[in-house]
Structure 1
Amino acid sequence: MDGISLAKQDGPKGAPSTLRIYGNDAYQAKFRRSRAIDAPRARYTGFKNETLTLKSGTIRREGALALTCDILFERDVAVALRDGTTIYADIFRPTGDKKVPAIVAWSPYGKQVGGPALDDIPHRSGVPLSATSGLEKFEGPDPAYWVAQGYAILHPDSRGAYASEGNATFWGRQLAEDGYDFIEWAAKQPWSSGKLALSGNSWLAISQWYIAAERPPHLTAIAPWEGFTDPFRDMVNRGGIPNPAFTEAVVTTCMAGNTFVEDMPQMSIDHQTISEYWEDKVARLDRISVPAYVVSSYSNPIHTRGTFTGFRSIRSKDKWLRIHNTFEWPDYYNPEHVQDLKKFFDYYLKGEKNDWQTTPRVRLSILDPGHADTVNRPVEEWPVPGYPVEKFYLHADRTLSNKHTTTGSTVSYEAETENSLITFTHVFEKKTEVVGYMNLHLWVEAIGSDDMELLAYAEKRDKDGNVFPLPSATGEVPSTVSAVGLLRVSHRALDPELSTELEPYLTHKKEQLLSPGQIVRVEVGLWPTALRFHPGEQLTLTVRAAPKTSTKYDKGFGVSIVPVPARGGTFKPDEKVEIVELGGGMDSQPEFVNAQRVETPASRNKGTHVFHLGGEYESVLLVPLAEVS
């Protein structure tokens, strides 16, 4: 390693206690020690400030895509942020003196390889090794393709990531201001045309909402591919239920650094109602006006709602939404979609007079398990007009019906058993499409507890009530397409100004615990979907006690062995070079990393969950649908 010393396994001392948020330069927040960058699963390639020419025809690893042009690779370039913190970036750009636009991939996951990689996911989530060069950041654009198209690709290690100085943070003011500084630094480089864009999915998409809201003068366009906009409502406390498992997995298996990392898992437990901390984490979408190409799906468990919200809420005059029918990673690297994104960037970053402006503003997918999906249907807007809301009442015989019964009844389950669920079914007589958001109104009572944590999901089943098995995003287990909603009943209070018929907006400002015998009305908003039903097929609604995901959850990022040339850069396919194998076993984490994990929050599901139906209790599912030919 040249110039940078690795963190010791026992980690740095003296955790910081403050975080810059909007309106407060020294907000009290929790931090924890970062996983050391020499931990095997961090897959760090080391620090070396150098410039290499990667020759056309060379490869990064056996089986990967070969380069089709020479690439100038500037490694570990120092970038000073406004507070004096230095971060390091890798730059891939065309050789020669021509000024070029640049695409930024912003994340803390590593500039080269890093903690997470597609290799860690079964079947690489449908992205063949030969489809990418191996120079790409996880979830980011591939330099091998984009440099050949006349773009620079910039891979910063954000604050606190790997060798970059400072303490790593999640989204909010600090990340936004750092992104602003980096973009304006890049615009001043001698190779830069002064036009920059952001691209990538997941963390790389989420970051775009925050950075764009800071309005860097040289940010010309964004392309967020599946990225939430409100961590509290979309992920860590969705429906008011604390669920730090995913952020634990990110902190412990995806990130590494020499200092500290913001402890969002702990903050989600310490701050279970909205605070200044969570307000800082809501993307300021109304400040975004640059052209945007937004990509979403109905099946992402953390990004779906936020991506649609982002598209709807940004002020950009020029914005497009494409809703796909697969998963984020194969969709991002699909050659057809890469070409589509190139057309968008060529128009705005290069000024090419192509036909991008004729692209439909919204391209819709209709999912049709058991049949053929409809993809890229052009529509005018989202939500899609032409799908009137229909009421499906919940009945004690476990059916969903358009008729409300005047006779009151109840159904219930024991909240701590394996069968703590109830399913209601509607059979369609005609071909029907359900497109948009659904809202479930329930009248609930808890016996033996002062709260309830509910999970509700609507899905399509076949004529015999069987689910349609679909491959999961990781290829691990079969799943089915579901529109899902969560609610901690004590968080049932709604914002009347922001709530709509189909989209309840929870305030999360305080808890309202239940009293014995108290029956309350709640709304559970289900995230959007688009499903086609054929005659005889079923719409099923399941309501159950929400399960807990353990914070010991480990997705296995950093485990697969990724080979890279020891000298850095690339090599000729027939060349014998020294190879370094990066990665480590599941048990190779430093001991302190697992010791810092938060405990899985205790469930509030105890006793009996009772649901009141009929009569004065209008328990109903609101569904946007239309019969189709």
Structure 2
Amino acid sequence: MQLTKLLPLAFTVAIALAPPSWAEPVASGVPGMIFDHDVPVTMTDGVQLRVNIYRPEKPGHYPVLMLMGPYGKDTSMADAPAYKTSWAKLIAKYPDLCKKSSCRYIRFEAPDPERWVANGYIVIHADVRGAGASPGVLDPFSPRETEDYATLITWAARQPWSSGKVGLFGTSFQAINQYQVAALQPEGLAAILPWEGAFDQYREIAYYGGLLNVAWEYWWTHQVVPNQNGNAETPLVDSINGGKDTGTALSPEILKQNRVDPVEAFAKHPFDGAYYHQRTPDGGRITVPLLDVANWTDWSTEGYRAAASKQKWLRIQTGDHLTPFYSEESIALQKRFFDHFLKGENNGWEKEPRVAVQVRRPDGATWRYASAWPLPGTRWEKWYLDAATSSMGSGLPTAAPAQKSYPGLGDGLTFTSAPFETETEFTGPFGVRLWVSSSTADMDIFAAVRLIDPQGRDVTFMGNSDPNVPLGLGYLRVSQRAVDPAKSTEYALFHPHLGSAPMTPGQMYPVDVEFTEPTSIVIPKGYRLALTVQGKDFGYGPGASTVHAKDYDLPNSNNSGLFFAAHPNRNPAVYGGTDTVATGGEHASYLLLPRITAP
């Protein structure tokens, strides 16, 4: 089933119209809130998924906020081994969080239902098929899972306590699947608010620049499989009734049959084809009002760019993946958006700037508001590389031809600018054009754009999932260097990733490194930019000379972002050759940067 196709007529008639028939609500312990626990909802194939419903005690018709995920709708962040660190960071950041709520119902990457029920909303949290109390095969982001979500949305819109309008809400996984189901245009869907979620299943999840992303194996093993339906050995505890909330115990053999390991599936599909097309939405069919909250480090402006919605907004922030979602500023923003589109309140939301970006500085960040993305007036500058001097600058287009080589699995090459003479801002999409050759039939490029302070230390920032990230990370498997001009822009060349074209050893090739996210930085006088090009994962190891941006006093880590490539498809005999970068003359290599000038 293609994700972009309309749902069959059977979908609309399979949803029960009768009043709910589940047991009496569980005592919520929260004044004014009714809690319906483990409510069964029948899918189009007869499988019953389980949902939790939090609703106002006062009778009426209320708009619905919904999310569907694999992490356990009854799993407390404070107690689950996989989430304890996240919870500790959240409470450290907002020590008064549990004074505004009992915090009993906060789940990983999910809104606190108490804060929303008190504001006149119903919150529905569903376990995806194959997770928690929902039986079936656990297959993340599959067409079957997306159809389930569409069924749940329309079911919720037709319930007697519903106003008929449903908004989708949540972060990460619960943002990614918002884009997917919005393309199906289910009855009742009125607005979506994907908070830091990927859009393109091949380029933002499975493969970065054609390199398999094995970081998902950790996510799968530690955060998803423990909550698989039927997993009697789960360490997760049902915070509502105690015990386990993973249904009837199943044998290890059946459990394995009932789940699809995403990294194994990705490895079987190395190129962008039908498998990913079924999981990447058709942006032209996403027409509901949309607020996309992205992060400078991982995920994602692509949903905003692709969606056909006439009412869409983009907000790009800095900082970690979880805590900003729960800030008072963020909750106020979220409520204004949903109050306008689900309740019809005339609260001035339509006057909200279409784009808001948090511009980074070494000593903090400030918000800038604009009418479009990329920012109006952006000027793309080419900062040319010089292999002879390991330097780069906007004034080097006529540098003499030069080459420099490095071991494919070594530390690579670094090109550094002169100290900036005046404060300079770069905010927006960016890229790297290189002329390269290899002693083997292929090579991998890992590119890191870095900020260096006057003392020669790397300035790092808090990323989506890593406490130390540079200004940007890009990737490309050179055998997948082909570009589709029809889908490319000056600042973002599109790699179709439809097949592999091996390199001829020793031959030079022009390649454009793939960056999935834009960047933002105001560079103070005396600071420098650096570009590192190597054939392995970039990271700051122990003892690295780094200084953290303001307010991020965190330990060093060895990998940056949501990607790493340590996998058997990285054959040292192929990717451990001698690689070469050429610069100057007919082999001009450069870093393309989005210059912002004062209005």
Given the two structures, how large is their TM-score scaled by the length of structure 1? 0.78
Aligned-residue RMSD, C-alpha:
2.4
- The AA in structure 2 aligned to 1:392 is W
User: Which residue matches 1:563?
Assistant: none
User: Which residue matches 2:270?
Assistant: 272
Report how far residue 78 of structure 1 moved.
Answer: 0.4
Report how far residue 483 of structure 1 moved.
Answer: 1.2
Alpha-carbon separation, structure 2, partners of 1:342 and 1:285 = 25
Alpha-carbon separation, structure 1, partners of 2:81 and 2:359 = 31
Alpha-carbon separation, structure 1, partners of 2:518 and 2:391 = 22
1:257 aligns with 2:222: no
Alpha-carbon separation, structure 2, partners of 1:426 and 1:112 = 54
Stretches of structure 1 lacking an aligned partner (at least 5 in a row): 1-19, 25-47, 57-68, 550-597
Report how far residue 471 of structure 1 moved.
Answer: 4.4
Alpha-carbon separation, structure 2, partners of 1:184 and 1:297 = 31
User: Which residue matches 1:602?
Assistant: 570
From 438, 455, 467, the counterpart of 2:458: 467
User: Which residue matches 1:579?
Assistant: none
Deviating 4+ runs (over 6 angstroms) = none
Check the 8 A contact 1:117/1:138 in 2, yes or no.
no
Which structure has the higher relative contact order (CA within 8 Å, separation 6+)? 1
From 391, 400, 404, the counterpart of 2:392: 400
Check the 8 A contact 2:4/2:184 in 1, yes or no.
no
User: Which residue matches 1:435?
Assistant: 427
- What is the percent sequence identity of the aligned residues? 32
- The AA in structure 2 aligned to 1:205 is A
CA offsets per residue over residues 428-450 of structure 1, 9 Å max, x none?
Answer: 22221101111211110112x21
Alpha-carbon separation, structure 1, partners of 2:382 and 2:331 = 41
Q: For the structure 1 residues 277 and 49, does the alpha-carbon distance in structure 2 shift closer, same or farther, using more than 3 Å as the test? A: farther
User: Which residue matches 2:518?
Assistant: 528
CA offsets per residue over residues 275-301 of structure 1, 9 Å max, x none?
Answer: 21112121222101111111111023x
* Paired residues for 1:208-357 under 5 Å: 208-255=178-225, 256-258=228-230, 259=255, 260-300=258-298, 303=299, 307-357=300-350
User: Which residue matches 2:595?
Assistant: 625
Alpha-carbon separation, structure 1, partners of 2:148 and 2:135 = 12
Q: For the structure 1 residues 618 and 163, does the alpha-carbon distance in structure 2 shift closer, same or farther, using more than 3 Å as the test? A: same
CA offsets per residue over residues 223-255 of structure 1, 9 Å max, x none?
Answer: 000000112111221100112232452255324
- The AA in structure 2 aligned to 1:501 is E
Alpha-carbon separation, structure 1, partners of 2:418 and 2:142 = 43
Please say which of residues 321-330 and 506-515 is displaced more in the overlay.
Answer: 321-330
Stretches of structure 2 lacking an aligned partner (at least 5 in a row): 6-21, 231-254, 540-565
Alpha-carbon separation, structure 2, partners of 1:148 and 1:117 = 29
Please say which of residues 320-329 and 463-472 is displaced more in the overlay.
Answer: 463-472
User: Which residue matches 1:141?
Assistant: 111
Alpha-carbon separation, structure 1, partners of 2:135 and 2:66 = 19
Alpha-carbon separation, structure 1, partners of 2:268 and 2:136 = 24
User: Which residue matches 2:47?
Assistant: 85
- The AA in structure 1 aligned to 2:176 is I
Alpha-carbon separation, structure 2, partners of 1:251 and 1:236 = 16
Alpha-carbon separation, structure 2, partners of 1:360 and 1:499 = 27
- The AA in structure 1 aligned to 2:60 is K
User: Which residue matches 1:154?
Assistant: 124
Please say which of residues 463-472 and 93-102 is displaced more in the overlay.
Answer: 463-472
1:506 aligns with 2:495: yes
Alpha-carbon separation, structure 2, partners of 1:196 and 1:243 = 34
Please say which of residues 286-295 and 248-257 is displaced more in the overlay.
Answer: 248-257
Alpha-carbon separation, structure 1, partners of 2:283 and 2:317 = 22
Alpha-carbon separation, structure 1, partners of 2:64 and 2:419 = 52
Q: For the structure 1 residues 170 and 548, does the alpha-carbon distance in structure 2 shift closer, same or farther, using more than 3 Å as the test? A: farther
* Paired residues for 1:346-385 under 5 Å: 346-369=339-362, 371-375=363-367, 377-385=368-376
Check the 8 A contact 1:168/1:262 in 2, yes or no.
yes
Residue 351 of structure 1 aligns to a residue whose secondary structure is coil
User: Which residue matches 2:468?
Assistant: 479
Please say which of residues 71-80 and 172-181 is displaced more in the overlay.
Answer: 172-181
Residue 585 of structure 2 aligns to a residue whose secondary structure is coil
From 28, 42, 53, the counterpart of 1:54: 28
- The AA in structure 1 aligned to 2:97 is A
Alpha-carbon separation, structure 2, partners of 1:352 and 1:117 = 39
Check the 8 A contact 1:21/1:173 in 2, yes or no.
yes
Please say which of residues 155-164 and 423-432 is displaced more in the overlay.
Answer: 423-432
Residue 486 of structure 1 aligns to a residue whose secondary structure is strand
